[in-house]
Amino acid sequence: MQPQWDTVAIIGVGAIGASIGMAIRQRGVAREVIGVTRTEASAEAALEIGAVDQIATRMEDAAATASFIVVCTPVMAIADHVRRCSAAARADTLLTDGGSTKGRLCRELASLPKGVFVGSHPLAGTHEVGPRAGRADLLQDRMVLVTPVEQTPDQAVQAAGDFWKALGAKVRTMEPEQHDRLLAFTSHAPHVVAYALAAASPVEALELAASGWKDTTRIAQGDVDLWRQILLDNPEHTLAALANFETQLAAIREAIASRDHELLTQLLSQGKKNRDAVGN
Amino acid sequence: MQPQWDTVAIIGVGAIGASIGMAIRQRGVAREVIGVTRTEASAEAALEIGAVDQIATRMEDAAATASFIVVCTPVMAIADHVRRCSAAARADTLLTDGGSTKGRLCRELASLPKGVFVGSHPLAGTHEVGPRAGRADLLQDRMVLVTPVEQTPDQAVQAAGDFWKALGAKVRTMEPEQHDRLLAFTSHAPHVVAYALAAASPVEALELAASGWKDTTRIAQGDVDLWRQILLDNPEHTLAALANFETQLAAIREAIASRDHELLTQLLSQGKKNRDAVGN
């Protein structure tokens, strides 16, 4: 069987980029994977764990030979990197990304000098960083959201979706704004909550932290620079989701303050119902 | 080697009670374990998984023959169950519990008709319920907080600590009020946050919930009746911990609203620092 793609370039070989590279190579989805990084240690690690066939230090060099380009750099760098790749790319190149916010990005990249960009967001986070956190099965059975704009050709949407499916993921297509609105609830606001909860715990309490606290705050291990960028790239939706959360929290707080057993039962039950619906 | 205890009675064979029974029996910590439940299905399950040697339906019957009694019923039932056991017990019986709140309980039970009560809280939660959720290693390497009051004899504190250590746990002793103040930060407020966050997520967003949302809300799977009791048995400390949290949250929210990169970095870093200090 022919590989689906000839040369795939992965810009940025952190945990997500390296995982994508490993999955492509293990599944034979492309003939060749070129990883782009300027950091020597990352280059070595990416080669060593088998995430890439070769490394380029200039993204333009990789882009010139690639038929498919996946930009896996931090949120606020993606638009610039996509434009630089596009300028160096072939006319028929498809570009996508792995960023956690989509609205501003997909509007900004609706038309490019060369090639077509369609946004993607693999819902497969890890708070670990660097190529050595890469795992070939990171996308296995996970969902990837593909977020075209009106101008995006159907063929590009289809091709991007096929790429993620070939890596074992499920694919769902939605508008970038819808993505940002929903992800504010499921990811961006929860990160704010986790960071705030961890910060609010006095040091003397931390040594008593058990599995409940650890679970609830786990994502506060996430890279601060990355998360600052994500939150500030989706501020309105994140604030709206936080407002929803703070309303719920205030209701529970008041039920506790007024020792209202019935109301407290009702409020906790609503949370449990949603949580149970999602499963483990 | 002689077992540490002759007969241990476990009042309530839910997930925690059953786990304690399994650990006692597998480690030979007592000659015999009597479980108390009035529910036929629980009795059968507890016997079947090897959590107990025999079942009694009246706690007084079990208490009369036990040298050590562990009350593992819901928080608001513990005081009554300890008193009933004490009334039926031998003069030298040691009683403890597995409840998540300690202040009111330990003051109320500072003196008993017969025997001595010393409060315990195994930091080994599970959101699963019933004897079949029992695991012999639930307490292995977990911490158990033992919470004597001024009147508690040192010998009873020592004996209770030795019991938990024999089950593989680490033991720390602290005043009941200190326990409730610290656990509000590490467990009670996080539960409120998890329930509120799960409740605040609209249904259309739930299908996009990935590992971050799942971790952050995991403890909202906890039994609602149990958690209502815990929160309403420690309202002041829980409200104080929530106030701390809401202050942190408001600071992050305002940093997002004002697009203050520097402040947001600083606030997220404080959370990450605390979370990283605890580890996985």
Q: How far is CA B255 from CA B99, B141, B242, B264, in A?
A: 39, 40, 20, 5
Ranges under pLDDT 50 in chain B: none
Q: Report the C-alpha gap between B160 and B165 in whole angstroms.
A: 9
Mean pLDDT to the nearest integer, A85-90: 97
- Shortest distance, CA B23 to any CA of chain A (angstroms): 20
Residues in chain B: 280
The three-point CA angle A167-A168-A170 to 5° equals 115
Mean pLDDT to the nearest integer, A29-49: 97
Q: pTM higher than 0.90 for the full model?
A: yes
What local confidence, expressed as pLDDT, does residue B43 receive?
97
- CB A225, CB A74: distance < 8 Å: yes
Q: Do A232 and B256 touch (CB under 8 A)?
A: yes
- Residue spans of the domains in chain B: they are 5-174, 178-278
What local confidence, expressed as pLDDT, does residue B267 receive?
98
Neighboring chain A residues of B264 at a CB cutoff of 8 Å: 228, 231-232
- Shortest distance, CA B53 to any CA of chain A (angstroms): 30
Going by pLDDT thresholds of 50, 70 and 90, the confidence category of residue A1 is low
Model pLDDT for residues A123-174, shown as the tens digit of each residue: 987 778 899 999 999 999 999 999 999 999 999 999 999 999 999 999 999 9
- Shortest distance, CA A160 to any CA of chain B (angstroms): 19
- CB A189, CB B198: distance < 8 Å: no
For A173-260, where are the alpha helices, taking DSSP H only?
176-183, 189-199, 203-206, 211-217, 224-233, 235-257
Identify the closest residue of chain A to B245 by CA–CA distance: A200
Is the model's pLDDT at A226 over the cut of 90? yes
Q: Report the C-alpha gap between A90 and A29 in whole angstroms.
A: 20
Q: Do A125 and B212 touch (CB under 8 A)?
A: yes
Identify the closest residue of chain A to B215 by CA–CA distance: A215
Chain A and chain B share a number of CB contacts under 8 A equal to: 282
CATH class of A178-278: mainly alpha
Give this complex's ipTM: 0.93
What local confidence, expressed as pLDDT, does residue B1 receive?
61
Nearest to A200 among B211, B231, B245 (CB): B245
Model pLDDT for residues A103-118, shown as the tens digit of each residue: 999 999 999 999 999 9
Model pLDDT for residues B152-203, shown as the tens digit of each residue: 999 999 999 999 999 999 999 999 999 999 999 999 999 999 999 999 999 9
Q: Report the C-alpha gap between B18 and B46 in whole angstroms.
A: 6
Q: Do B186 and A249 touch (CB under 8 A)?
A: no
Neighboring chain A residues of B208 at a CB cutoff of 8 Å: 123, 143, 145, 182-183, 186
Nearest to B98 by CA among B81, B122, B77, B80: B122
Q: Report the C-alpha gap between A8 and A21 in whole angstroms.
A: 9
Identify the closest residue of chain B to A199 by CA–CA distance: B271
Neighboring chain B residues of A212 at a CB cutoff of 8 Å: 125, 186-187, 190-191, 218-219
Model pLDDT for residues B207-230, shown as the tens digit of each residue: 999 999 999 999 999 999 999 999
Neighboring chain B residues of A248 at a CB cutoff of 8 Å: 195-197, 199-200
Q: In the CATH scheme, what is the code of domain A5-174? A: 3.40.50.720
Q: Do B210 and A239 touch (CB under 8 A)?
A: no
Residues 6+ apart with CB under 8 A from B106: B117, B119, B147, B148, B149, B176
